[in-house]
Amino acid sequence: MLIVTGATGRLGALIVERLLERVPAGRIGVSVRDVRKAAEFAERGVRVRVGDFTEPDSLKHAFEDAERVLVVSAAIRGGAALAANSAAIDSAREAGAQRILYTSHQAASPTSLFPPQQVHAATEEHLKRQGVPYTALRNGFYASTLSPYVSAALETGTLAVPQDGPVSWTAHEDLAEAAAVALTEDGTLEGITPPLTAPHTLNFADVADELSRITGRTITRVVMDDEEWISAAVAGGMPRPAAEFSLTMFAASRNGEFNTIDPTLGATIGHPTQTVHQALEAVERSR
């Protein structure tokens, strides 16, 4: 069976949808924390089992009969994320998976200023040590990350965030399709992949310009001092640790960590990848 974890999350659910177009539902199994949230997949013939990376015993049952396992990195912050993702990888090997796939990040690096990249780099190292064929999908930075910043800018007319740098903002839909290809087609995306990115990089000034074009209103990019931005975010209701975490994304982007584009994603899915313009239009439409 082809097992996908995190199938009740945004990326995992899209991956299962793309898999259902490629293989019979009976070949697909999902490992989820809450089976009720995956009821629709069960109705369509997908095997749904409980699996929590922090309770590895649950993964034995969830990964039973695994031919390949795609570990969608768990939405956990800090060192616990490495332990959780590693436990899932270990369980996939113990279940006999002949290929283990993992959703890494385009800028995975032990020296990144953005802590999740350090976790991804360490998880990739763990994956390499298993002695099992593997794929680390170096997913581009989600374009959806822009949503809260864009929503605020559309409210106020000002995109006021710290100094940033160019990012190849990439759509979940394209990344999910590439993951489904990697799970089902031999010889594609083996080992650590090139960065799987959209074809352009944009910084927040570019985003403000795009938004101005889309809405016909002037959206002005304002560069805020880091500490001022944290204070403003906390005053606006964001918990301080979340604000400090978000600041590390700006620090990494202005360090050039996400200033990479690569044609592999488009080549893998066989059609042009979504542009940030499309992602921003979607944010504007959803308001």
Cα(137)–Cα(193) distance, integer angstroms: 6
Return the residue of 141, 204, 229, 250 that touches ligand NAP, per CB under 6 A.
141
Return the residue of 3, 46, 66, 73 that touches ligand NAP, per CB under 6 A.
73
10 binds ligand NAP (CB under 6 A): yes
Selection from 224, 226, 75, 99 nearest residue 152 by Cα:
224
From 124-132, 138-146, 195-203, 225-233, give the range in contact with ligand NAP by CB under 6 A.
138-146
Minimum distance from CB of 230 to ligand NAP (Å)?
20
Write down the residue that tokens 């499309």 correspond to.
Answer: 278
**CA–CA–CA angle 66, 70, 75 (5° rounding):** 130
Cα(230)–Cα(245) distance, integer angstroms: 10
135 binds ligand NAP (CB under 6 A): no
74 binds ligand NAP (CB under 6 A): yes
75 binds ligand NAP (CB under 6 A): yes
169 binds ligand NAP (CB under 6 A): no
Minimum distance from CB of 104 to ligand NAP (Å)?
9
- Residue 44: count of CB within 10 angstroms of its CB: 12
Selection from 259, 165, 261 nearest residue 207 by Cα:
165
Return the residue of 1, 8, 124, 173 that touches ligand NAP, per CB under 6 A.
8
| Residues 149, 156 contacting (CB under 8 angstroms) | no
- Which residues 39-58 are close enough to bind ligand NAP by CB under 6 A? 52-54
Minimum distance from CB of 183 to ligand NAP (Å)?
15
18 binds ligand NAP (CB under 6 A): no
Residue 65, token pair as written in the block? 């009969």
72 binds ligand NAP (CB under 6 A): yes
Enumerate long-range contacts of 208-212, CB under 8 Å, 24 or more apart: 208/153, 208/159, 210/276, 210/277, 210/280, 211/150, 211/153, 211/154, 211/159, 211/280, 211/284
63 binds ligand NAP (CB under 6 A): no
Nearer to ligand NAP, 76 or 205 (CB): 76
123 binds ligand NAP (CB under 6 A): no
In single-letter form, the type of residue at position 273 comes to T
Minimum distance from CB of 216 to ligand NAP (Å)?
29
139 binds ligand NAP (CB under 6 A): yes
Selection from 266, 237, 271 nearest residue 168 by Cα:
266
Q: Which residues bind ligand NAP (CB under 6 A)?
A: 5-6, 8-12, 32-34, 52-54, 72-76, 84, 103, 105, 139, 141-142, 145
